[in-house]
Structure 1
Amino acid sequence: MLTSQRLLIVFIDNSSTLPQKKRPKYTPPCKRRKLAANGRKCVYLVPQDRVWKDEWFHIKFEENERNCAHKELLVLDLNGTLVWRGPRKKNKSRDGYPRPFLNEFLKFAVDNFAVMVWSSAQPASIADMLNKMLSPYHKQFIRVWDRRFCDIEGEYFAKSRTVKDLERIFNGFSLADSPNFNVYGTYNGYTGMCSDAKGKWTIENTVIVDDSASKTALQKDNHIFISPFKDPLRTNPDGSPADNQLLKLKEYLEGYTAHKEQYPALLDYLKTHPWLEFCNSVQVHSE
C-alpha cells in the first residue's frame, strides 16, 4: 500500500537577530576638508587658502612678460623639481629645502630665457615657496600659474590627477577661462597672462621642466623630465650635495644658448639632443 509523504518547510525570519552592516555615514566635502584640517586622514587637500586674493599683482608679472626680450620660454615646476616640501605638521609651518645649485640655475635661466612657474599646488603654497626659496629671481618671472590653471580630472580640493596643457599658454588661456577661477571666492579679474604677448610662445620655442611625466603627457617632446627631489639632506662622502640635476640641466641648456644659430627652434635642439641621454652620460662639477 502506497502512502504519500508531505515535506513541511518552515521559513524562519531571523533577520532581526542577525548583525546588520551599517552603511557608512555620508560626509559632505566641506566636512571632509574640516577633518583634514584637524589632522584626520582624508583624501582631500587642506583648503587653507580660502582667503587667497591673488597677490601676484604685487610682482607685476604681466609687465615682465610685456617687456621680455627673450624668445624662448622655460616653464618650471616647483615641488619635487626645484624644491622639496615636507609633510604638513599640526600648528607648524612645513619644512622646505631648495634643490642644490638652485640659485646658480635660476640666475642662468632668467638671463637666457623667459621663465614662468606652473605648479599644481594651491596659490598660497606657491607664494610661500617662491618667497622662501626662489627669491629674488621669482620677481623676474613672466607668469606664475597655480592649480587653477591645470586641467583637473576630479575635484579641485581632492588628490586628483592634474595635467599641464602647454596649449593653454600658446592660446592665451587666462584664469577667467578656468572652471576653478573663483574657487577661493575672491576672484577680482586676475588673468595670469599678458594679453599683449598672446601668440608669442609656441610649441617650437617652449620647454617644460617637471618631475612628473603624467602631468606633461600632452606635449612629451617639450618635456624635460628631471628626477624627483626627495632627499634634501643626502650628501656625497666628501660632504658635497649628492643631487646635481640642476647643474646638469644648466649645462644642457647652455648647449642650446651657445649654439642657438644652429637650431631653427628650441624644440629642434630637444629632439636632436635627448635630455635623458645627456643626463645619464655627462658628469658635471660645481665651480
Structure 2
Amino acid sequence: MENNLYSKTATEPCPKQRLVVTKYETNSSEACPKTAPARARSIGNCTVTEEETDFNKESLPSLGVADPDKNSRKLLIESLDFASLSIHGDTVTRKGKQAISSLLDSSSLEDDDALFEEKNKIQEQVSLPPKVSVKLGFGNRKKLLILDLNGVLADAVSTYSVGYGEQKVFSGKQYFKRPFCDVFLEFCFDRFDVGVWSSIRRHNLDGAVDSILGKLKNKLLFCWDQSKCSYTGVNTLENRQKPLFLKELKKLWNKEEPGLPWKKGDYSSANTLLVDDSPYKAICNPPHTAIFPHPYRCNTGIDASLGPGGDLRVYLEQVVVADDVQQYVKEHPFGQEAITDSNKDWNFYSQIIKRHNRMLTA
C-alpha cells in the first residue's frame, strides 16, 4: 500500500452541493461543511481521485460512510423532507427524521465511532417503507434494475482521514460506501430484479462487489464487467486518457450472453432501467431507458439520496408502480440530462453512434 493513500491534503473550497443537499445555503454564521474545523475533518481531508486513465484500471468505490459534522446536520434532516408520503407514509418519514435529528443533536455522542454505530442502527430502523403492490406483468417478473457502482453506490478516493468509518483498498484506491447504501440495496432487491454492470475489469469488480453488497451479491441476476461493455475506440471528453465504453441494453433484452437467468423477451424498454452516473454510456440505447444521477463524491458533505425519503430512492419507488418504465422516465426526468441532439457536444457523440452502427451492420 502506498503511503500517499493516507496523506492529508490542503483544505479545498467547498464544492457545489448536489441533489438532496441543494437546499443548504451557507452564511456568515455557518461554515461550509467541508471547511468547518473539528467534526468536518473527515470530509475536508478527503481528496477525490481522477478516474483511472487506463480502461483496465478504472476506479470503483467501496466501503465507508462520511459521518455528519456539526454544520451538516441541516442537510440530512432536510433531505428527509423529500419523502413521498403516498409511498412511505407519515410514520416512517417522521420516525427517520426524528431519530436522525435526535442523534445529531445528542451531546453524549462526541466520538465519531460511536456516532457511526448509532447512525447504522437508525438506518436499520427506518430501512424499508411499507410495501407497495409491485406491478409484475411481463411474465410475472419484477422490473429489471441495472446499477452502476462508481458514483452511484460508492466513491473512490486517493487519500482519507480518520472518521469515515469502515473502508477498504482495492487496486491502490480507497473505497467508501455511500451513506444509506445498505438499506437502499435491501429496498432494490425487495422491489426489483437487480443486476450490476460496471466498466472496470473483473478482478477489480469482484472485490468491490464483495465489499459493497456483501451477502446480497448472491441475489444478483448478473454481475457484468468491462468485457460486456462495447468499446468505441475513442476516449471521453471529460478525460482524454479514459476510453469511452457503452452499456448496450439490447445485450440483456436479447439474452446475447449465456447464463442469464431469463428468456429472451422477458425484459424490454418497458420494464428495464439503467442507473449510471455517465450519460454517454447509454447513447446507443433507446431513449428514456436510463437515468443519470449526479455522481456521488464522499467529500461533498451529508448525502441521503439513497436513504428513506432520498431523491433516488423515492424515484425508484415510483418506477416500481409505473405501468411503463420508458414512458415514466420520459415524463419524469431525473439527474443529469441524457445526451441528445441538443447536447453541446452532439457532433462528437453522433459520430460515435454512426461509427458504432456501421460496425454492427458490417
TM tier, smaller: 0.5 to 0.7
Query: Is 2:227 the partner of 1:168?
Result: no
Query: Is 2:148 the partner of 1:77?
Result: yes
Structure 1: how far apart are the matches of 2:181 and 2:244? 27
Whether the 8 Å CA contact 2:158–2:173 is kept in 1: the answer is yes
Q: CA deviation at 1:245?
A: 2.5
TM-score normalised by the chain length of structure 2: 0.47
In the other structure, the counterpart of 2:305 is 245
Q: CA deviation at 1:192?
A: 5.0
Structure 1: how far apart are the matches of 2:283 and 2:252? 15
| Structure 1 residues 119 and 192, CA gap change in structure 2 (3 angstroms) | farther
Matches within 5 A, 1:1-287: 44-45=54-55, 70-87=141-158, 93-154=172-233, 159-174=242-257, 191-194=258-261, 196-219=262-285, 220-230=287-297, 232-235=298-301, 242-246=302-306, 247-257=310-320, 260=321, 263-276=322-335
Structure 2: how far apart are the matches of 1:253 and 1:244? 14
The structure richer in helix per residue is 2
Describe the superposition over 1:209-249 as per-residue Cα deviations: whole angstroms up to 9, x where unpaired.
0000101122341111111112x1443xxxxxx22222211
Amino acid at match of 1:221: H
Whether the 8 Å CA contact 2:57–2:200 is kept in 1: the answer is no
Amino acid at match of 2:157: G
Amino acid at match of 1:251: V
> Which SS does the other structure have where 1:249 is aligned?
helix
Whether the 8 Å CA contact 2:289–2:325 is kept in 1: the answer is no
> Which SS does the other structure have where 1:245 is aligned?
coil
| Structure 1 residues 153 and 233, CA gap change in structure 2 (3 angstroms) | same
Q: Percent identity?
A: 29
| Structure 1 residues 92 and 111, CA gap change in structure 2 (3 angstroms) | closer
Structure 2: how far apart are the matches of 1:118 and 1:92? 19
> Which SS does the other structure have where 2:214 is aligned?
coil
| Structure 1 residues 170 and 243, CA gap change in structure 2 (3 angstroms) | same
Structure 2: how far apart are the matches of 1:228 and 1:114? 23
Structure 1: how far apart are the matches of 2:194 and 2:267? 11
Structure 2: how far apart are the matches of 1:170 and 1:92? 32
Structure 2: how far apart are the matches of 1:93 and 1:44? 14
| Structure 1 residues 69 and 122, CA gap change in structure 2 (3 angstroms) | farther
> Which SS does the other structure have where 2:245 is aligned?
strand
Amino acid at match of 1:154: G
Amino acid at match of 1:266: V
In the other structure, the counterpart of 1:63 is none
Amino acid at match of 2:256: F
Q: CA deviation at 1:92?
A: 7.3
| Structure 1 residues 200 and 161, CA gap change in structure 2 (3 angstroms) | same
Whether the 8 Å CA contact 1:144–1:192 is kept in 2: the answer is no
The answer to which structure, 1 or 2, has the higher relative contact order (CA under 8 A, 6+ apart) is: 2
> Which SS does the other structure have where 2:275 is aligned?
strand
Amino acid at match of 2:265: G
| Structure 1 residues 251 and 148, CA gap change in structure 2 (3 angstroms) | same
Q: CA deviation at 1:133?
A: 1.6
Q: CA deviation at 1:270?
A: 1.9
Describe the superposition over 1:131-170 as per-residue Cα deviations: whole angstroms up to 9, x where unpaired.
1122122221100111001110239xx8311001111111
Structure 2: how far apart are the matches of 1:71 and 1:91? 33
In the other structure, the counterpart of 2:79 is none
> RMSD across aligned C-alpha pairs, in angstroms?
3.1
> Which SS does the other structure have where 1:161 is aligned?
strand
Whether the 8 Å CA contact 1:73–1:115 is kept in 2: the answer is yes
Please list every run of 5 or more consecutive structure 2 residues that lacks an aligned counterpart in the other structure. 1-51, 59-138, 160-168, 235-240, 337-362
Amino acid at match of 1:161: L
